[in-house]
């Protein structure tokens, strides 16, 4: 028989207040105590929302209006389990009024911290060995894969045994901007100067008499067309490729799904896996560039491509910000962040727009408004 698990640690109200005064953000659900210091700024509404509830019984925040959480959010909370309030002290801790809350839970500073003693036994059932690379394990989950991958956890993921492959499978957010922004600027200049030569005509392969000249002044509009087409492509890829449901009996399709997007839904706050690494991204871009060159005159295809490339860079930067940024409540980005978090934790089969919700309207995949927090 294995060793018995150690009993949960007990905390007095005085100790909890002391921790909060030092910058921690602790909340209580009945006698269970949770440390949300590392997660507080990632939550829609950020520090302000959770600090206002620090030192109170959060069961109302979990269940009642104006802020309703999904079953995944409840499971997520258990990752930050710290221990139990001492018997009788929880009433005194909960009695602290909201006027004292900002002092009890000082503004969080520093990096993400997950307590060493959180109760892993209360996480969704682990069907994989987290000490080994996951990519070669997930295919064996079969019919359990879809449910497992949509129960998010807050822990880093390793995909490959090879350190080299692992290195190229993840990247920091700023690398995307540093690599692709100069490419966008250079290709924009090439496209504009090429159009300025006056040799580009549309439909010239079908008829020379009625072909349409494409002037350099059209470049901004062609560029914007490329961005618009990217937004549609982003939606279609996210919905039909990233959110395909692989057959339970197909090991390889499950593995491919996890590599493409499942890993992100399993660990949505793994900061090194929120943007597309440049090496695999370049292969995908080369594919779409080739298609545009087959469909359009060379310079025109390049102009559309560079607009789409700019749209991709904005999309990746936006995606990172929606996970790690703290937009002000009531702003467009706050609404978009709340929308994307709902997609991860409750509505994985809808809400596919990331940089915009536009395409969710005509395709009828909009997340219902009634599921969101109501403004006070």
Q: Is the pLDDT of residue 259 over 90?
A: yes
Q: Is the pLDDT of residue 137 over 50?
A: yes
Domain shared by 241 and 330, yes or no: yes
Q: Which two tokens stand for residue 66?
A: 């104006």
The mean predicted confidence, pLDDT, of the chain is: 79
Out of 58-72, 135-149, 358-372, give the one with best mean pLDDT. 135-149
Neighbours of 32 (CB within 10 A): 20
Q: Is the pLDDT of residue 45 over 70?
A: no
Is the link from the previous residue into 139 a cis peptide, with omega within 30 of 0? no
Which residue, 85, 114, 140, sits at the end of a domain?
85
Out of 3-17, 39-53, 112-126, 159-173, give the one with best mean pLDDT. 159-173
Beta strands in the chain (DSSP E): 10-11, 26-29, 32-35, 81-85, 201-202, 212-213
Residue 178, domain member (yes or no): yes
Residue 55, domain member (yes or no): yes
CB 200 within 8 A of CB 322: no
Domain shared by 349 and 200, yes or no: yes
Q: Which two tokens stand for residue 283?
A: 């292969």
pLDDT tens figures, 196-244? 887 776 655 555 556 677 788 889 999 999 999 999 999 999 999 999 9
Domain shared by 168 and 316, yes or no: yes
Out of 46-50, 118-122, 263-267, give the one with best mean pLDDT. 263-267
Domain shared by 200 and 315, yes or no: yes
Domain shared by 322 and 204, yes or no: yes
Query: What angle do helix axes 298-324 and 219-237 make, rounded to 10 degrees?
Result: 50
pLDDT tens figures, 54-77? 444 444 344 334 455 667 777 777
Q: Which two tokens stand for residue 79?
A: 């990752």
Average pLDDT over residues 2-13: 67
**CATH code where residue 56 lies:** 3.10.120.10
User: Within a 13 Å sphere around the CA of 224, how many CA atoms are in the beta-carbon half?
Assistant: 5
Domain shared by 62 and 191, yes or no: no
**What pLDDT score does 80 carry?**
78
Domain shared by 200 and 334, yes or no: yes
Average pLDDT over residues 35-52: 63
Buried b / exposed e across 87-118, counting CB within 10 Å, b at 16+?
A: eebbeebeebeeeebeebbbebeeeeeebeeb
pLDDT tens figures, 81-100? 888 887 765 555 554 433 33
Average pLDDT over residues 342-369: 90
Which residue, 57, 85, 113, sits at the end of a domain?
85
Express as a percent the part of the chain with pLDDT over 90.
46
CB 159 within 8 A of CB 134: yes
Annotated binding site for heme: 43, 69
| Count of domains forming the chain | 2
> Domain range spanning residue 210?
163-360
Residue 74, domain member (yes or no): yes
Domain shared by 174 and 66, yes or no: no
Q: Indicate the pTM of the whole model.
A: 0.76
Residue 293, domain member (yes or no): yes
Instruction: Give strand pairing partners of 85.
Output: 11
Domain shared by 228 and 339, yes or no: yes
Q: Which two tokens stand for residue 23?
A: 């910058």
**What pLDDT score does 226 carry?**
96
Q: Is the pLDDT of residue 111 over 50?
A: no
Domain shared by 63 and 168, yes or no: no
Nearest to 57 by CA among 103, 101, 100, 91: 91
Annotated binding site for Zn(2+): 238, 243, 261, 264-265, 319, 323, 340, 343-344
**What pLDDT score does 208 carry?**
57
Residue 145, domain member (yes or no): no
Residue 201, domain member (yes or no): yes
Domain shared by 179 and 77, yes or no: no
Q: Is the pLDDT of residue 159 over 90?
A: yes
Annotated binding site: 43, 69, 238, 243, 261, 264-265, 319, 323, 340, 343-344
Q: Is the pLDDT of residue 149 over 90?
A: yes
Residue 307, domain member (yes or no): yes
Q: Is the pLDDT of residue 172 over 80?
A: yes
Domain shared by 73 and 211, yes or no: no
Which residue, 45, 62, 85, sits at the end of a domain?
85
Residue 371, domain member (yes or no): no
Strand 212-213, strand 32-35: pairing: unpaired
Q: In the chain, how many H helices and how many E strands? A: 15, 6
pLDDT tens figures, 285-337? 999 999 999 988 888 899 999 999 999 999 999 999 999 888 888 889 988 99
Out of 14-18, 163-167, 201-205, give the one with best mean pLDDT. 163-167
pLDDT tens figures, 216-228? 888 999 999 999 9
Work out the pLDDT band at 265, boundaries 50, 70, 90. Answer: very high
């Amino acid at each position: 028989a294995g060793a018995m698990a150690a009993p949960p640690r007990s905390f007095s109200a005085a100790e909890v207040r002391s921790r909060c005064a030092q910058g921690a953000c602790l909340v209580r659900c009945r006698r269970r105590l949770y440390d949300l210091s590392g997660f507080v700024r990632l939550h829609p509404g950020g520090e302000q929302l959770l600090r206002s509830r620090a030192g109170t019984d959060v069961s109302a925040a979990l269940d009642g209006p104006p802020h309703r959480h999904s079953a995944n959010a409840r499971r997520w909370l258990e990752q930050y389990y710290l221990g139990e309030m001492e018997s009788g002290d929880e009433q005194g801790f909960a009695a602290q009024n909201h006027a004292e809350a900002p002092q009890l839970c000082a503004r969080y500073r520093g990096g993400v911290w997950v307590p060493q003693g959180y109760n892993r036994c209360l996480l969704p059932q682990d069907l994989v060995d987290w000490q080994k690379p996951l990519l070669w394990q997930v295919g064996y989950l079969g019919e359990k894969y879809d449910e497992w991958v949509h129960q998010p956890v807050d822990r880093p993921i390793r995909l490959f045994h090879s350190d080299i492959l692992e290195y190229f499978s993840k990247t920091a957010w700023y690398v995307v901007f540093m690599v692709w922004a100069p490419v966008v600027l250079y290709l924009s200049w090439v496209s504009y100067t090429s159009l300025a030569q006056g040799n580009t005509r549309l439909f010239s392969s079908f008829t020379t008499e009625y072909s349409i000249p494409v002037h350099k002044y059209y470049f901004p509009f062609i560029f914007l067309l490329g961005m618009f087409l990217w937004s549609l492509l982003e939606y279609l890829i996210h919905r039909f490729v990233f959110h395909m449901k692989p057959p339970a009996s197909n090991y390889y399709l499950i593995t491919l799904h996890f590599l493409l997007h499942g890993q992100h839904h399993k660990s949505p706050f793994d900061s090194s896996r929120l943007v597309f690494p440049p090496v695999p991204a370049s292969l995908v871009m080369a594919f779409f560039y080739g298609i545009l060159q087959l469909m359009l005159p060379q310079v025109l295809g390049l102009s559309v491509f560079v607009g789409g490339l700019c749209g991709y860079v904005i999309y990746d930067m936006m995606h990172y910000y929606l996970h790690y940024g703290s937009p002000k409540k009531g702003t467009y980005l706050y609404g978009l962040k709340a929308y994307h978090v709902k997609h991860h934790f409750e509505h994985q089969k809808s809400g596919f727009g990331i940089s915009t919700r536009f395409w969710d309207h005509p395709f009828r995949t909009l997340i219902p408004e009634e599921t969101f927090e109501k403004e006070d």
